[in-house]
């Protein structure tokens, strides 16, 4: 990530003025990206049985209510 950012002029100029702060911010950004990647990897590894479209939940609830009301 840092390599890509330093290709942009705005980041190169910022490093000339506040190099220490840029290093800290880049490190924090990398940590945040790594954590987000771990989260996505975890979500991708789960099976889809727990994830249902919102309309499916409504249909299931209506079906259950209709069965309770029916004689």
Rounded distance, CA 6 to CA 30, Å? 14
Query: Is the pTM of the predicted complex or chain greater than 0.75?
Result: no
For residue 40, give its domain range: 1-48
Query: In the chain, how many domains are there?
Result: 1
User: Has residue 38 been placed in a domain?
Assistant: yes
61 in any annotated domain: no
Does residue 32 lie within any of the structural domains? yes
Which tokens is 47 given? Answer: 């099976």
Strand ranges for 1-71 from DSSP E: none
pLDDT in tens, the chain (71 residues): 667 666 777 777 878 888 898 889 889 989 999 999 999 999 888 887 777 666 655 655 565 555 555 55
pLDDT at 18: 87
- Dihedral sign from CA coordinates of 5, 7, 13, 19: positive
The per-residue pLDDT for 36 is 96
How far is it, in rounded angstroms, from Cα 43 to Cα 49? 12
Tokens encoding 19: 């190099």
């Amino acid at each position: 990530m840092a390599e890509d950012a330093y290709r942009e002029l705005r980041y190169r100029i910022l490093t000339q003025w506040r190099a220490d702060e840029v290093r800290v911010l880049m490190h924090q950004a990398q940590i945040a990206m790594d954590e987000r990647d771990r989260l996505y990897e975890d979500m991708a590894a789960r099976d889809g049985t727990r994830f249902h479209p919102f309309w499916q939940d409504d249909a299931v609830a209506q079906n259950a209510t209709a069965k309770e009301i029916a004689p």
